Structure 1
Amino acid sequence: MSAGQSQDEFIARRRASWKELEQLLVLGKELHRSAPAEISRAASLYRSVCADLMRARAQFGPDVVRYLDGLAGRAHNLLYGTRAYRLAGLWELLVRDFPRTLRRRWQFFALANALFYLPFILGMLGALASVEFAETVLPSQTLARMESMYEQGFYAGRDVHEDSQMAGFYVLNNVGIAFRCFATGILFGLGSLFYSIYNGMVIGVVIGWVIRAGHGGNILTFVCGHGPFEQTAVVISAAAGLQMGWALVKTDGLTRMGSLRAQGKELGHLIVGAAAMLVIAAVIEGYWSPSAAPPELKWAASGVFILFVTAWLSLGGRRRRGARPVGARPEGAGASR
């Protein structure tokens, strides 16, 4: 640009760039969900507007400066501003990002399932076969308490105030278990491995012991409702812990902290999803599992819950057939491939 360029010439020369940036600002969608090329273009236009603003302040009148100042401010907020918390964003994370991340990291999920359910089966069969085995895993007083808890069943239901208290207890207890399974993954995954095996063994021994005592129908009918959510969430938490531990082992050339930061977004998806499942499990365990509903109805509900969890984790976030990603060009648009 020549040093003696007039304001009208400056505006005429730069107007197209400003209008293009304005169009990006009024699209009505968050820029981080746009195509990479769109984000890069918006950043380039923002830098050029900043340069225009500096020149306008030095050479031209307040009207041009005011317009460019407002345009640059809006673009800065779009590119660098903190996104407001939205319930819709949480919903999108749960129904889309969470199951997508879990499927993408299926190896850790499969390993966590094996680490939980193999000891679970071993513990249950061991308790059914041997008193000595059960008492090696848990003290005899604990086993006796578990037996007495399920001796009467829940045909009379439970007081609604007690239900509310227990629902709160289950939230804290379940979150504590899941937190240990995840957080101890910082020990290169060894903590998550230990707690997965430990939880599976203990739960298996408790169920096997109560079945051995003749109250298997009571305990299985009690856990069948919340189990699909609770146990799946605990396993997912352990999978996230294993993923965190593996990030500290296999850094791909990054520092360990850098490798951990690179996994942060995915770990966040898994933990938020697991936390939501634990809240659902606590509500079911607090109000539905101990209710006086017929066992047949509880098992039918369990089947529905299993189908729901399976569909959520296996189908959630999948694009409809023929749907294009956000920001993708229609076929034939742009340069040929």
Structure 2
Amino acid sequence: MDLDAYVAAHQEQWRRLEALVARRGRLTGAEADELVTLYQRVATHLSVVRSSAPDAVVVERLSALVARARSVVAGAHTPMWRDVARFFLVSFPAATYRSAVWWVPTAVAFFAVCWAIGWWVAGDPDLQAKLVPPQAVKQLVEHDFVDYYSSEPAAEFAFGVWTNNAWIAAGCLVLGVLLGVPVVNILWLNALNVGVAGGLMWAHDRADVFFGLITPHGLLELTAVLIAAGAGLRLGWTVVDPGPRPRLRALAETGRATVGMALGLAVVLLVSGVIEAFVTPSGLPTWARVGIGVVAELAFLGYVVGFGRRAVRAGETGDVSEAERGDVLPTAA
């Protein structure tokens, strides 16, 4: 066999297989089929060269190419650390950034309701008496509100706060599919609690204590919950108005991105829980405790805007990768 002629005849196929192997994970259906066909052909070429003209250089090249192609065809798994990195650098910030049109207005409405309730409670002694007995109010503003943050060992307190807030966020994300009604209820209950507590503290000249204790962890904690609520409301609206996509497909795509946010928000809430357990009740001056909370909040928002905007501009939606979604039928816009 003329080895040079054989190489010249099949060189383009080898180069094409090398190009397809290099694009592993980003192949279309037709390209994947082509890769399998070329893998079989090149494996045959390797066998022919070994038996008829065993040139060491050609055999080594084809052996390496066939081995790499086999790993793609056989479905070699991407290292887990790459999936984790992609989630936190691409998927989660993209989903959070894209849903900002929902969670930013949700946050504005939430804080407006909190402020209105707090102002109403602080300015109406009769309402205060109806809500909480006077002796209980004194106990709350002078002892309970402050003592709450050191009521348990810090590690146990952090874990308890984290799990509670994670369940609230998960509820907002998952229950949003019920047209968003449970999400509105969750937001209302939280706004009521914050507003009443703040109003009572303000009415008894303890507003500085209230904001000094709630701000360090509350900024990040409420941001995470409000992001979950906004994403849940978006999911509920997708049920009502799926846009140009079929309803089930739109719900599946939005749902995957929404539920996937739960993991990222759990990490954010873990950070806020640590701050609440170790920073909020600490002996640091108020400006230092509040400063830590502000830095954590700005760092998270910067992360969402920086990584999220870049990912969205690259076409990311926060959904799973194209290879994991499966094929879908085209639809008319």
Compared CA separation, residues 314 and 39, structure 1 to 2 (3 A): same
Q: How many residues get paired? A: 303
Say whether residues 1:75 and 2:83 are aligned partners: no
- Pick from 172, 181, 184 the counterpart of residue 175 of structure 2: 184
Q: Distance in 1 between matches of 2:250 and 2:234?
A: 11
What is aligned with 1:334?
A: none
How far residue 149 of structure 1 moved from its aligned partner, in angstroms, is 4.1
Q: Distance in 1 between matches of 2:246 and 2:139?
A: 49
The answer to whether the 8 Å contact 1:95/1:316 transfers is yes
Match runs of 1:142-221 below 5 Å: 146-150=140-144, 158=150, 162-221=153-212
Q: Secondary structure at the match of 1:263?
A: helix
Bigger RCO (CA 8 Å, 6+ sep): 2
Q: TM-score, normalised by structure 1?
A: 0.73
Say whether residues 1:303 and 2:297 are aligned partners: no
What is aligned with 2:227?
A: 236
What is aligned with 2:35?
A: 46
What is aligned with 2:88?
A: 94
Say whether residues 1:258 and 2:256 are aligned partners: no
What is aligned with 2:102?
A: 108
Q: TM-score, normalised by structure 2?
A: 0.74
- Pick from 108, 116, 123 the counterpart of residue 122 of structure 1: 116
Q: Secondary structure at the match of 2:153?
A: helix
Q: Distance in 1 between matches of 2:136 and 2:109?
A: 24
Q: Distance in 1 between matches of 2:189 and 2:85?
A: 33
Q: Distance in 1 between matches of 2:137 and 2:50?
A: 81
Q: Secondary structure at the match of 1:101?
A: helix
Match runs of 1:9-20 below 5 Å: 13-20=9-16
What is aligned with 1:3?
A: none
Compared CA separation, residues 189 and 48, structure 1 to 2 (3 A): same
Q: Secondary structure at the match of 1:186?
A: coil
What letter corresponds to residue 104 of structure 1 in structure 2?
R
Q: Secondary structure at the match of 1:316?
A: helix
Q: Distance in 1 between matches of 2:196 and 2:30?
A: 60
How far residue 199 of structure 1 moved from its aligned partner, in angstroms, is 1.4
Say whether residues 1:85 and 2:118 are aligned partners: no
Structure 2, unmatched stretches of 5+, are 52-58, 316-333
How far residue 124 of structure 1 moved from its aligned partner, in angstroms, is 1.1
**Percent of aligned pairs sharing the same letter:** 20
What is aligned with 2:18?
A: 22
Q: Distance in 2 between matches of 1:39 and 1:11?
A: 28
Q: Distance in 2 between matches of 1:96 and 1:67?
A: 32
Structure 1, unmatched stretches of 5+, are 1-5, 326-337
Compared CA separation, residues 135 and 255, structure 1 to 2 (3 A): farther
Describe the superposition over 1:269-314 as per-residue Cα deviations: whole angstroms up to 9, x where unpaired. 5333322210110000011111111112223323323432332233
Q: Distance in 2 between matches of 1:113 and 1:132?
A: 30
Q: Distance in 2 between matches of 1:146 and 1:91?
A: 44
Describe the superposition over 1:11-63 as per-residue Cα deviations: whole angstroms up to 9, x where unpaired. 754442233323553x5xx744x6xxx65785254143256379x49x96997
The answer to whether the 8 Å contact 2:169/2:262 transfers is no
Compared CA separation, residues 67 and 99, structure 1 to 2 (3 A): closer
Q: Distance in 2 between matches of 1:112 and 1:309?
A: 18
Q: Distance in 1 between matches of 2:39 and 2:136?
A: 69
The answer to whether the 8 Å contact 1:229/1:278 transfers is yes
Match runs of 1:310-325 below 5 Å: 310-319=301-310
Q: Distance in 2 between matches of 1:259 and 1:135?
A: 49
